[in-house]
């Protein structure tokens, strides 16, 4: 689970940097410079999350749906260009779900 948290923290760090930029020109330049890195980390994150949520059910379905939208559907690009705060919220939700799932899996064993 440490890999998922590390990926999420890396994304949040980048998005925090993006939200601090005041100029539209600076934000566009940041997206241009960092999009490939953010996309790579996002793909890694969702591949790891699908391993964590490997059991069929609503959590796996939700992770797969968000993965498809972010990685395949262009949601990542849209969020970076229009509102990185929304993407930070999605990452925080995934972080919370992963932590809860890992905690409950350990107590059930």
- Is the entire prediction scored with pTM above 0.75? no
Domain range annotation of the chain: 2-108
Handedness of CA 55, 58, 63, 68 (dihedral sign): positive
pLDDT in tens, 49-66: 888 888 899 888 988 988
Q: What is the tens place of the pLDDT at every residue in 17-51?
A: 888 888 888 888 998 899 888 888 888 888 888 88
Q: Which two tokens stand for residue 98?
A: 């992963």
């Amino acid at each position: 689970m440490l890999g998922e948290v590390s990926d999420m923290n890396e994304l949040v760090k980048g998005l925090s940097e993006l939200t601090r930029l005041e100029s539209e020109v600076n934000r566009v330049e940041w997206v241009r410079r960092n999009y490939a890195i953010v996309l790579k980390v996002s793909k890694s994150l969702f591949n790891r999350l699908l391993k964590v949520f490997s059991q069929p059910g609503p959590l796996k379905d939700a992770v797969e749906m968000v993965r498809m939208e972010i990685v395949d559907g262009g949601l990542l690009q849209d969020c970076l260009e229009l509102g990185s705060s929304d993407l930070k919220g999605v990452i925080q939700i995934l972080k919370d779900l992963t932590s809860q799932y890992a905690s409950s899996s350990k107590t059930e064993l």
